[in-house]
Amino acid sequence: MFEIGIMHFVVLSVVVFAAGICTLLTKRNAIGILIGIELIMNAAGINFVAYNRYVWGGGEAGSLIDGQIFTIFIIVLAAAEAAIALAIFLNFYNTFSSIDVERADEMKG
Amino acid sequence: MDMPSLLNWMIYVPMIFGGLCLLAPSGEWAKRLALAGSIVTLVMSIVLLCNYSFDQGGVQFESSLVWIEAINVHYRTGLDGLSLPLVLLTTALSVLVVAAGWKIDKAAKAYNALYMLLLTGMLGVFLALDMFLFYVFFEISLLPMYFLIGIWGGPRKEYAAIKFFLYTLAGSICLLIVMLGLFLYTPNIDGANGKQLWTIVSSSELSLQSAAVRAVFGNGGLHEVFGKWAFWLTLIAFLIKLPAVPFHTWLPDAHVEAPTPISMVLAGVLLKMGGYAMMRITWPLFPDAAATFWVAVATIGVVSIIYGALCAIAQTDWKKMVAYSSVSHMGYVTLGLAVLTRTGFDGAYFQMIAHGITSAMMFFLVGVVYDRAHHRDLNRFGGLWLTWPGYSGWAMVGFFAGMGLPGLCGFIGEIMVLLGTFEAAANFEHQVGLVYTFGILAASGVVLTAGYILWMFQRVYMGLPKPEYESFEPVRGREYAIMAVLGIAAFVFGIVPVLIFNITDSTFESLTNMLRDGLGVLSVSGS
Amino acid sequence: MAPQQAELILTLLGMATLLPLASAFIMIILTRRVMFKAAGWFATAVMAGSFVCALVSLVTWLGVPEADRRGLSLLKSIPWIPIPSTEAGHLYLGILVDNLTIAMMAMVTLISLLVHLYSIGYMNGDKRYNRFFAYLSLFTFSMLGIVISNSIMQMFVFWELVGLTSYLLIGFWFEKRGPQLACKKAFVMNRIGDAGFLIGFGILFYQLGGKLLLPAAGGASGMVEGQVVTMFDAIKTLIEQDGHSITNPPLWLTAAGIGLFFGAIGKSAQFPLHTWLPDAMEGPTPVSSIVHSATMVAAGVYLTGRIYPILTPAAHVFVAVIGLITLVIAACMALVMTDIKRVLAYSTLSQLGYMILGLGAGAYAFALFHLVTHAFFKCCLFQCSGSVINAAHHEQDMRQYGGLGKKLPVTMACYLVCTLAIAGASIPWTEFGISGFYSKDGIIAGTVSYGHALHDTFGAAANLFWLAPTVVAYITVFYMARSFALTFLGKPRNQKLFDHAHEAPWTMCVPQIVLAAMAILTAPFLMGFWQSLIVASEPQVAWIQGADHLAHGHAMHTTHVYLLNGLAWIIMLAAGIILYIPGMKFSSKIAAIPGINLLYTWAYNKFYFDALYDTFVVGLGKLISMIAAVFDKYIVDGIVNLVGLLGKAAAFLIGAFDIHLIDGSVNAAAAAAHSSGGLLRATHAGRVRGYVLIFFASAVLVVLAVVTTVMVFGA
């Protein structure tokens, strides 16, 4: 029988991570980049949950939920980050009437 | 007030008055304050003299405080027969010097304040009994002098001031090296915690310390080589100050550029620091080396006498001539010390006091004329005797005292040094010919001295008055007072020399006893 | 001698010495207004007091029988300079009175008194009239100080003071160039002698130690009787105790004696330091009469007399030779001078040479007696010349004089008496003469026996010791006669000068007369006390070759020396007068004779001593001092400045090193950081995606690297 194992989760996570990276690399839209970051974080979250299960297994040991706690932190972090990022974008938009990150090169070396 | 604290106050009272000079509302007030300060100092020194007990050879009115404990440095001051006459000379001369500077109106406040600081330095040098403290005062006296020459001096004042400063500083470095060496090499003496030699060997402790010191630095001692080096280093430090040939060239420049009162104090007191320090530090600490190298030291003395006089003959600048005469006269001090006889020591010491009086007077006499003529070219003067008979009378006293005429103070020192030199033939029985040579050369110095003084006298005072000097303003009462005080002092000390010798006698007794020990070493190693 | 008599004499002589000092002091401090006119009489009065003191002590002293006086010394000392290393403990100041002191005190005070009186007239109208008397009194004090000195050191002190006062008096008219140079020359030359004195004293001081400083063998104070007369006798005793005697005198004693004698050479203007004395005639004539004839220049003779006991045979020869040379060359120069004062000056030199020769030859008593007699007649001669010069309105050239005797009879008489005195005039073949006869002939007699004594050592040359003084004795009469004739006799050669001439005022005439009288009276049969004092002061021991001949020599005085000199003075006097009555007419012809003219030119130019000294001694001295000064300025000071310069150069180099190397490397580091930053800044393009790409690529690379490492090295 086909059983869902660790490998599936890892592959999923890789795909999501790759999607996030691709989004970051290709999008000029700040919102898009934010989404890409969210994807990368979620990929990490998936990995935490999957490896938690993989390391500790189910049953009694299943009460050990370090990975899940990390994931929750990531989600919270992502939310906070998104809030800050959106605030920055808002200001950015107010200044440049655009949220194109290519325009934000005032401080280049 | 007890005497030790009076003594310490005496050192710092001028400094306090110097501070007040700076706060004074005007230059005139600064002069008055400086005069008051020097008079207060003079009175204090006279009080000390009155309380001084002449029979007691050792240090009196001593005060000692721990200053830097880690290296056993003390703040130690006191008075003995070696320092008292020089202290009196300094304080007495100071009043005259301030009076002589009465017409200096350029930054009078700063001038008088610096002079007061200088006075503190000079008194400190003579009263310090700790070598470190001595060094500090030695340097303190240097700095005001630099500014006094460098700011109030003549056309080449900067050159002269920096030359004076650097030259003397070079000497100080030599002294510093010796101090470090003493600190490192001196073992425990009289059971104390060692490193005692920071304390200048005072006469009361001579017999106690000299044996221990000689055991270390003397011939055959553990640090004999250092002892010899140290002798020369301290000697050079003090010969520069004295000054002796070939370390003398700062003197003519400094004197020529310095204003009159500063020349007076420079010749009158600062040069004496060199001789005093030789008697206080070099000879007592290294008697063996002094006996070993007496020929070299005596040669320096004799060369200074002859060479200084020869240079004086050739000068056309009046002040420079007087400056070279100082070199010549201080040569007697070196010679008197070198021959290691009691008479020589007495003579050398008296010569310092006498030269303090005569050189100050000679510089003042030159200054009186310079203030009016604005030049010092001997060949352009003439007939001053007729222009100013009174002044010329005092000039005769001053210059003839410098010439060493009997009845005036210059004679006693020279004659005693000469006698001491001949007496030394008994010390150095293997070198009697050398002793005679030194004696004969030093005696022939009197001819050269007569030569330059009389030639100068002829060119400046004799002859018909020159029209350009007839409009000179007359010599003032203040100037007469200064000349009179110095001139009368020249008479008094020339006629009653015991005034000095009563004070120094007991101190010199122990000093020369110790030197005799040094000579003992010579006769052992010499034969 | 009773103690109260001794006390009286000491007190009186102390007063006699100090009175002139007091008067000089008063005259110096009192202003011109108070003391100008009165100075002359005031000083003279004080001097009279001083003379009375000396006279009373002379009389008191003579009251003592001669046998008791012989070898008697009165002493009073006060400690002056402490010399603790010696037995005596001090240098002393004080009074020593013996026969010689008494004689000299009386002589000096008398002459000084007369010169003071004379100066009142002579210096009248001078603008520094009061100063002159102050100096003169000061001089008298110094001279008396020498005479009563009880130690060599004290003698040196006054020795120098005499030099100073002589300087002041010669240079009294310092407005003029001549006196300026003369007074400087006198002082410097004296100082050369003084240096010798000091050296001699130093040698004695070393050899004898503190004993030397004791005023006399008797200790510091009191009355000393017996054979030990002065400090030098005491010294002699000490030396003899050390085992020395006339046969093996110590070399150092010879050196010390010659050293001390050098002081006398300077002060008494002996060859080779004689050139200052003729120049000293630039001073006022009263000064010449006391300082440069009667007293100060005699101080050298006095000193030689005092050190007489310690002179070794060799030193005696030295002294005699110096005296001999001086008396010959001075007499030659006196022959040709035309300035009246210069004639007298060279005559003084010559007579001093006699005294020194006499002391060297062992004629102690006659030499010192000649000092006294010479003092009177030479002082008188100078005063007469002063009167003449005064009358002639300060013309001193004898060629301008002539016939002045008519105008100045008193002066002429005095001059003649003194000329006879210096000539040693006597009634031929008898023992009667005037002062110079007794003293000078005695000296010549002494030299005769000395010449004999030295015959073994020097051969025929020893005869010079008596031959030269004898010949010079003739020359002396001749040149004195010459000056007398040129001045007072013949026809006036300068009519204008003659018409204005007048006899001197009484203040000047009286001293001349008194001195002339003294010149006659200072003869043994009238004032024998003078000679007796000096004879009594003669040291008992003299280390002189042929000392045993000396007694014989004194005896000879009565025989052939009289024969030699008895008639000669008349012939020479007559020759001199006759030759010069018409002025210089004949003599200039004689002087033109080939051979003589050369000698004449030499003598007239003072044997070129002055030129020699000016060129070699003074010129060389100045040259050496110039060299020393240049050496000092450029070499010694040059080295100092070079050190300074090198210091500056080193500082400059170090400064450059600091700026370029040390600070440079710091700056280079900063520059490197800066430029590398410039390189890297290109990567900071501000493109977020670029950053991400690099970041991601780097992460991949790191992962790959880790994985590869693990795969290669792991397990």
Residues of chain B under the 50 pLDDT cut: 190-195, 202-204, 207, 524-527
* Span C112-153, pLDDT tens digits: 888 888 888 888 888 888 888 888 899 999 999 988 887 788
The residue-averaged pLDDT of C383-393 equals 84
Contact B163 C640 (CB under 8 A): yes
ipTM: 0.87
Contact between C198 and B443 using a beta-carbon 8 Å cutoff: yes
Per-residue confidence (pLDDT) for residue C548, from 0 to 100 = 53
Q: Show the CA angle centred on residue B404, arms to residues B400 and B405, nearest 5°.
A: 65
Structure tokens belonging to residue B285: 């600490």
The tens digit of pLDDT for each residue in B88-145 reads 999 999 999 999 988 888 888 899 999 999 999 999 999 988 888 888 999 998 889 9
Q: Is residue C396 part of a domain?
A: yes
pLDDT recorded at residue C553: 44
Beta carbons of B498 and C153 less than 8 Å apart: no
Category of C608 on φ-ψ map: left (φ > 0), alpha (ψ -120 to 50) or beta: left
- C202 to B463: CB separation less than 8 angstroms, yes or no: no
Are C33 and C136 in a shared domain? yes
Q: Which amino acid is at A83?
A: A
> C677 in a domain, yes or no?
no
Cβ-based contacts of B443 with chain C (< 8 Å): 195, 198-199, 202
A91 in contact with C at a CB cutoff of 8 Å? no
Q: Helix, strand, or coil here: C82? A: strand
- Give domain status of residue A103, yes or no: no
Q: Tally the domains of chain A.
A: 1
- Grade residue C522 by pLDDT with cuts at 50, 70 and 90: low
In a domain, C676, yes or no: no
- Interchain CB contacts (distance < 8 Å): B and C: 146
| Residue A107 located in a structural domain | no
Domain residues for A79? 6-97
For residue C74, being part of any structural domain is answered with yes
CA distance B137 to B152: 23
A45 occurs within a structural domain: yes
Find, in chain A, the residue whose alpha carbon is nearest to that of C681: A109
Pull the structure tokens for residue C182: 């003369």
- A101/C689 Cβ within 8 A: yes
- Separation CA A77–CA A69 (nearest Å): 12
pLDDT reported for residue C550: 52
CB contact under 8 A, A24 and C683: no
**In this structure, is residue C679 part of a structural domain?**
no
Residue C319: inside a domain: yes
Alpha carbon dihedral C654, C659, C661, C667, in 10-degree steps, equals 160
Domain membership of residue A21 (yes or no) is yes
Give every CB contact of residue C450 below 8 A, 6+ residues apart in sequence: C320, C360, C361, C362, C363, C465, C466, C544, C545, C546, C549, C550, C553
pLDDT digits (tens, 9 = 90+) for C1-24: 677 888 888 888 888 888 899 888
State whether C521 and C636 are in the same domain: no
Q: Do residues C570 and C715 both lie within one domain?
A: no
Chain A hits for C695, Cβ within 8 Å: none
pLDDT at B525: 41
Owner of token pair 């010796």? B178
Domain that holds residue C188: 3-604
- State yes or no: pLDDT of C322 exceeds 50: yes
In a shared domain, residues C706 and C650? no
Q: Which of C644, C225, C480 is nearest to B166 (CA)?
A: C644
Count how many domains chain C has: 3
More confident of the two residues B194 and C609: C609
Which of C85, C157, C631 should we substitute to test contact with B (largest number of B Cβ atoms within 10 Å)? Answer: C85
Written as one string, the DSSP assignment of C167-193 is: HHHHGGGTTSHHHHHHHHHHHHHHHHH
Tokens for B12? 């710092």
> Could you tell me if residue C125 is inside a domain?
yes
**Same domain membership, residue C528 and residue C642:** no
Please report which confidence band the pLDDT of residue A84 belongs to, taking 50, 70 and 90 as the band edges. Answer: very high
> Which H or E run includes B58?
none
Cα dihedral B456→B460→B464→B466 (10° resolution): 150
Please indicate, yes or no, if residue C7 is contained in any of the structural domains: yes
As a whole number of angstroms, the distance between CA B100 and CA B94 comes to: 10
Query: For A108, which of C680, C684, C689 is closest by C-beta distance?
Result: C684
**In this predicted structure, what is the pLDDT of residue C225?**
47
- Contact residues, chain C to chain A, C-beta under 8 Å: 680-689, 692-693, 696
Total number of residues shown for chain A: 109
Domain-ending residue, one of C604, C623, C653: C604
pLDDT at C552: 44
Chain B residue with CA closest to C168: the answer is B396
Residues 6+ apart with CB under 8 A from C421: C373, C376, C377, C434, C435, C436, C519, C520
Closest CA–CA distance from residue C138 to any residue of chain B (Å): 13
Binary contact (B342, C85; C-beta < 8 A): yes
Closest CA to C379 of C111, C710, C647, C39: C111
Q: Is residue A71 situated within a structural domain?
A: yes
